[in-house]
Structure 1
Amino acid sequence: MSETTSPATGGIVPAALFDDPYAVYGRLREEGPVHRITGTDGLPAWLVTRYDDVRQALGDRRLSLDKRHAPPGGYRGMALPPALDANLLNMDPPDHTRIRRLVSRAFIPRHIEELCEPVRRTAELFLDACAGEEEFDLIAAYAAPLPITVICDLLRIPGDNRYDFRAWTDALMAPDPTRPARARDAVGRLLAFFTGLIADRRRHPGDDLLSALVAVRDEEDRLSEDELMSLAFLILVAGYENAVHLIGNAVAALLAHPAQLAALRADPALLDGAVEELARYDGPMPLAVRRFPVEDVAIGGVTVPAGETVLLSLAAAHRDPRRFPEPDRLDLTRDATGHLALGHGIHYCLGAPLARMETSVALTALFDRFPDLTLACPPQDLRHRASMRSRGLVTLPVRPGSQQPAL
């Protein structure tokens, strides 16, 4: 066991933990597999850092996501009202199994394949808007609006609300400690938004996923009202957050490694494996959702007492040389299967096939249109959001160079 004062002591997190979590978590990984730390909120937790231990813990049913098992006054993660909090990220079986089954059909490979062409057309529209620019922010112009559009189309959310949603989500996922009212305001607006959206769908049902979930609630009584609203919220948040950072981080990594990008452009057959390696190399989540042991659990030779908080460092696991040789090197020919960027076990990301498809389409469309795309600043000048919950760039300034016409 290691008693560690984290870089977050006192709730102040240095920029290094956001801009390069791999160095910070990597140092802890090599010092020991499990550390007793003080979190960003000043509360204690157990940090797990090595790949084998993290992977095993992700699938361990004794590590609960249910906040009822959280330590009194301890770390619980994001604070949300019950109408947004009754979601899959806070549930264990059998409730988790029941609710996941209700939406899993929307994300089966056949349905995702049917979305591929509409997503490509949407990507082309956003790239059209960038054509002719000498420089643009790839996050604001492309990586963020593309996933928002896709998931909002899936739920049939009117276009006028889509960019408000992005601002609200950013306020939740990267809260500003100097402006706590901003996050509270975002929660209130999200609650009002989903309340109105569900009421509208009850009045005007359609053939979309949200209408189907409303029918499950009203006609079959297989969801509570809080579960219905929380599920809609989670689909929208997860559908945006994972994809935008997969795309943004992937483009940044490729532009910082031009030889790897050239290899991908020379051999498009590398694309599927490249998406896996890019997710491993710089994935959208440095930490998995917090867990609470329902009994004493041995992890990495350390006994973690029941009723405490466990944090699983995906950032450390993905750079563990015990699992991935030369882990700090981006290698698009690497077999990166087994990475944990989209989870593992029963809590494996429901929207993983959609996120993978969006990333593949986004990268292909982007580099086909702008084959000479380059960073508009040195890679070390790129800044990441001040968030422990997700890893994403604030901006990604790029220069398109020569441009190919749209197909």
Structure 2
Amino acid sequence: MTHASLLRQITDYANRADPYPLYGELRKTPVLHEEEGGPYAISGYYDIESLLHDPRISSDATTLAAIGDDQPTGPEAAGLPPSFIRLDPPEHDRLRRIANSSFGPPHRPRRLDSMRDELLQIVTDLIDGFGDARRIDLVDQFAYPFPVTVICRLLGVPREDEPRFRTWVDPIVASLDPALHAQENADQRRAAQEARVQLGMYLAGLVEQRAKDPHDDMLSDLVTSHGEDGAMTMMEVLSTSVLLLIAGHETTVNLITNGMLTLLRHPEYLHRLRDDPGLAARIVEELLRYEPPVQLVTQRTCIADVDVRGVTIPRGSRIWLVLAAGNRDPERFHEPDRFDPDRGDIQHLGFGSGIHSCFGAPLARIETQIALSELARRLDNPRLVEDPPPYRENALLRGPRHLDVSFDDLRP
């Protein structure tokens, strides 16, 4: 295997079902630079963690544009300002604090915890909805509708509008795929830009309603918040809302699906979870290490020369932080390719690290713990119909597109 082809192999759909041997090969060259103008790929756990905390590594969309990537891939392509994940401090910090003030601790300490009963009811209704079927597509019938329903309720987006915004979300997410070739990239960007325009216009209507008649939801909080950090502008509210709507369900769909797939491949833990729901928290943390829904972070730029393992990455260079490779780094984890929720230390990179660590991590954890616990409890003798299942195209957000599961009965 030649280094010149390694990143292409990693992003090639043919290897989507099992990219981990390629990640192992990648770690042999901790800083991989395949071609002039191409990204520097970082694959070691400690290197990735350090760079995620390094202020010389920029997430700012305008920094990417300054080095030649002048076609934005974030909400700014729709005429919206960048969301806070595409900004550096201090603006990133201001917007994230405002958003967090309506999401959870310390400002809303009970908002997420108070949702547990509601989350359990949504899961119960979805599983009851399997009816007499003894074979289901876990993605379409459970893993997708669950977090979509949750984020709609949390934001204040009508759940019945899901078919509309799904047609906009899909091309936006597709445009993030680093495997796209030049022409495909241009086509996807145009489609994503149009989708962002439509999604932004849709959310603008909801935001306008909430400004006149606030409800108990995040859209209302975002548009009416006037704390120590001031208020978001209307355009900032829209870009934040686009981010939360998309990020609030896309990664959780993959986490739940990857989780059930892994448990079905390791039935001893599925049986243990059925008997001990308290194991769910450790299972979810190990899943975030072992099969993370976000495989790599590609939108980072060096704003100064950075030395990594004796290699100088020049100012202006793009870097890829391959989180999934770092999560299985033998320098960090004992037997990293073994799924083991009983590990004494599961300090993973599944939600990133540093100032851009996953905003919705607390909610995703709760959702996945409840989802997997109830599936383990209620599905009698569940089995995979196809292994490996068909995967989604995206190399960045990795998860099965469908997961057919058969079972003998549905427990009450």
**Shared fold per TM-score greater than 0.5:** yes
Q: Is the 8 A contact 2:11 2:395 kept in 1?
A: no
Q: Aligned residue for 1:86?
A: 82
One-letter amino acid of the counterpart of residue 8, structure 2? A
Q: Aligned residue for 1:351?
A: 360
* Structure 1 position 22, deviation (Å): 1.7
* Structure 1 position 136, deviation (Å): 1.2
Q: Is the 8 A contact 2:296 2:323 kept in 1?
A: yes
Q: Aligned residue for 1:186?
A: 195
Percent identity, aligned pairs only, is 35
* Structure 1 position 37, deviation (Å): 3.3
Q: Is residue 381 of structure 2 the alignment partner of residue 386 of structure 1?
A: no
Q: Aligned residue for 2:380?
A: 371
Provide runs of 4+ in structure 1 moved above 4 Å. Answer: 82-85, 217-221
One-letter amino acid of the counterpart of residue 153, structure 2? D
Q: Is the 8 A contact 1:385 1:392 kept in 2?
A: yes
Q: Is the 8 A contact 1:273 1:335 kept in 2?
A: no
Structure 2 matches for 1:278-289, cutoff 5 A?
278-289=287-298
Other structure's SS at 1:398 match: strand
Q: Is the 8 A contact 1:292 1:308 kept in 2?
A: yes
Q: Is residue 58 of structure 2 the alignment partner of residue 64 of structure 1?
A: yes
Change in CA separation of 1:392 and 1:217 when aligned onto 2, cut-off 3 Å: farther
Name the stretch that deviates more: 73-82 or 131-140: 73-82
* Structure 1 position 245, deviation (Å): 0.9
State the Cα deviation string for residues 334-376 of structure 1 (Å, max 9, x = none): 2353101111111111211100000001111212221322111
* Structure 1 position 271, deviation (Å): 1.6
Q: Is residue 44 of structure 2 the alignment partner of residue 37 of structure 1?
A: no
Q: Is residue 204 of structure 2 the alignment partner of residue 207 of structure 1?
A: no
Q: Distance in 2 between matches of 1:159 and 1:115?
A: 17
Q: Aligned residue for 2:120?
A: 120
Q: Aligned residue for 2:16?
A: 18
Q: Distance in 2 between matches of 1:54 and 1:220?
A: 31
Other structure's SS at 1:326 match: coil
Q: Aligned residue for 1:403?
A: 410
State the Cα deviation string for residues 181-234 of structure 1 (Å, max 9, x = none): 643442232122122222222233212111111113799952223211111111
State the Cα deviation string for residues 3-44 of structure 1 (Å, max 9, x = none): 7444428xx9532342222222221112x1111135xxx961
* Structure 1 position 173, deviation (Å): 1.7
Change in CA separation of 1:167 and 1:369 when aligned onto 2, cut-off 3 Å: farther
One-letter amino acid of the counterpart of residue 46, structure 1? Y
Q: Is residue 252 of structure 2 the alignment partner of residue 252 of structure 1?
A: no
Structure 2 unmatched ranges of 5 or more: none
Q: Distance in 2 between matches of 1:219 and 1:201?
A: 21
Change in CA separation of 1:400 and 1:83 when aligned onto 2, cut-off 3 Å: farther
Q: Is the 8 A contact 2:56 2:303 kept in 1?
A: yes
Change in CA separation of 1:104 and 1:79 when aligned onto 2, cut-off 3 Å: closer
One-letter amino acid of the counterpart of residue 297, structure 1? V
Change in CA separation of 1:300 and 1:75 when aligned onto 2, cut-off 3 Å: farther
Q: Is the 8 A contact 2:61 2:72 kept in 1?
A: no
Q: CA RMSD in A?
A: 2.6
Instruction: Specify which of 22, 30, 48 is matched with residue 54 of structure 1.
Output: 48
Other structure's SS at 2:111 match: helix
One-letter amino acid of the counterpart of residue 97, structure 1? D
* Structure 1 position 322, deviation (Å): 1.0
State the Cα deviation string for residues 270-318 of structure 1 (Å, max 9, x = none): 2211110011110111102521111111122211111111110011101
Q: Distance in 2 between matches of 1:75 and 1:4?
A: 26
Structure 2 matches for 1:93-242, cutoff 5 A?
93-105=89-101, 106-108=103-105, 110-175=110-175, 177=184, 180=188, 182-216=191-225, 222-242=231-251
Alignment coverage as a number of residue pairs: 396
Q: Is the 8 A contact 1:18 1:388 kept in 2?
A: yes
Q: Is the 8 A contact 2:392 2:398 kept in 1?
A: yes
Other structure's SS at 1:192 match: helix
Q: Aligned residue for 1:306?
A: 315
One-letter amino acid of the counterpart of residue 129, structure 2? A
Q: Distance in 1 between matches of 2:220 and 2:97?
A: 16
Q: Is the 8 A contact 2:74 2:83 kept in 1?
A: no
Other structure's SS at 2:68 match: coil
Q: Distance in 2 between matches of 1:24 and 1:284?
A: 17
TM superposition score normalised by structure 1: 0.90
Change in CA separation of 1:69 and 1:219 when aligned onto 2, cut-off 3 Å: closer
One-letter amino acid of the counterpart of residue 224, structure 2? A
